[in-house]
Amino acid sequence: MTADTSRERNVNRQDRADAVDREMAASLLPVAAVRALGRWWSENALAYADGTPGAHTVRYTPGRWAQIIPWPSTLAPTSCGGDAWVSRAEVASAVADALRREAFREALVATYVWGKGKRGTPGGSGPATLYKILSVEGLDAALARAVTTLSEHGAKSAYAGLQSVVPGFGPSFYTKFLYFVGKTVSSATGPQPLVLDRVLARRLRSLAEYVGRESGHDPDGSIAGWVWRDRNWSPHRYAVYLSFMHAAARQLADRGSWPSDASPDLLEYALFSVSWT
């Protein structure tokens, strides 16, 4: 295959991806997804009556993170035995406090432990990876720059600024950092950041596969698999995700399946929890 042929193939693939994105933006959530999310809300309305997922708690084992410094005071001491729980609202408060002190590493630790939850094991991928991330030279500058970029240029640029900058710190976790930072720092332009991880990407992939088949732009699902892969999403893909999620939240509210004042992160949490296929 020549370079020109390869280039033409990539352009054609991107054109098809753009076409699927436009169809998804126009149609948003299919009926099956709307119904599944409506059922989820009816079962969880009391827990999230304020229209946010702030009460969503994650269980973790503090003792497994004993080597991690700095350790946020919001989290249970690493010396305590057994498991502990921390909510999104508590992590948001911890990050807000850390940002006021420019304690960016502390903010990162709070979001990382919340994101890893019970999966963090001694010496395992959670604590061991975080320890390596905290040891990277230039981490503080990268995190500070991300916070400033969010406030001055928006979520897409902040995402791009963290991409492949810190070894081991991938988008499944730095979008969690940006999400909680966004609870304190307003995005300059565009929507506020949301978490994007493998589970959510697979939810969007299933939507893209459906739209691609129905529209004829992606009959075999190969485009959906390419753009909504399990990791390393482009800044453009993150921006598409944010736009879709904010529009889909409005769609649900308009159809009466969702609280009218719900924040888009409630949909993010619900999509993580619900499968309609």
| Predicted local distance difference test score (pLDDT) of residue 88 | 98
- Rounded to an integer, what distance in angstroms lies between the CA atom of residue 274 and that of residue 270? 6
Is pLDDT above 50 for 181? yes
Long-range contacts of 245-249 (CB under 8 A, 24+ apart): 245/191, 245/194, 246/191, 247/25, 247/28, 248/28, 248/29
| Predicted local distance difference test score (pLDDT) of residue 69 | 96
Q: Which amino acid is at 117?
A: G
Is pLDDT above 60 for 123? no
pLDDT band at 12, cuts 50/70/90?
confident
At 142-155, the pLDDT tens digits run 999 999 999 999 99
Q: Calculate mean pLDDT across residues 179-206.
A: 95
pLDDT band at 160, cuts 50/70/90?
very high
| Predicted local distance difference test score (pLDDT) of residue 10 | 65
Q: Which residue has the tokens 């500058």?
A: 141
Phi-psi region for residue 61, left (φ > 0), alpha (ψ -120 to 50) or beta?
beta
| Predicted local distance difference test score (pLDDT) of residue 111 | 98
Q: Which residue has the tokens 């309305």?
A: 45
Is pLDDT above 80 for 124? no
Distances (CA, A) of 159 to 126, 170, 232: 21, 10, 11
| Predicted local distance difference test score (pLDDT) of residue 1 | 57
At 52-111, the pLDDT tens digits run 999 999 999 999 999 999 999 999 999 988 999 999 999 999 999 999 999 999 999 999
| Predicted local distance difference test score (pLDDT) of residue 9 | 65
Q: Calculate mean pLDDT across residues 121-137.
A: 83
| Predicted local distance difference test score (pLDDT) of residue 7 | 61
- Rounded to an integer, what distance in angstroms lies between the CA atom of residue 141 and that of residue 149? 12
Q: Calculate mean pLDDT across residues 238-267.
A: 94
| Residue 118 in tokens | 């019970």
Reported as half-sphere exposure (CB side, CA atoms, 13 A), residue 121 has a value of 3
At 220-246, the pLDDT tens digits run 999 999 999 999 999 999 999 999 999
Q: Is the dihedral of CA 25, 28, 30, 33 positive or negative?
A: positive
| Predicted local distance difference test score (pLDDT) of residue 122 | 47
Strands (E), 192-268: none
Q: What is the pTM of this model?
A: 0.94
Other CB atoms within 10 Å distance of the CB of residue 95: 30
Mean pLDDT across the chain:
93
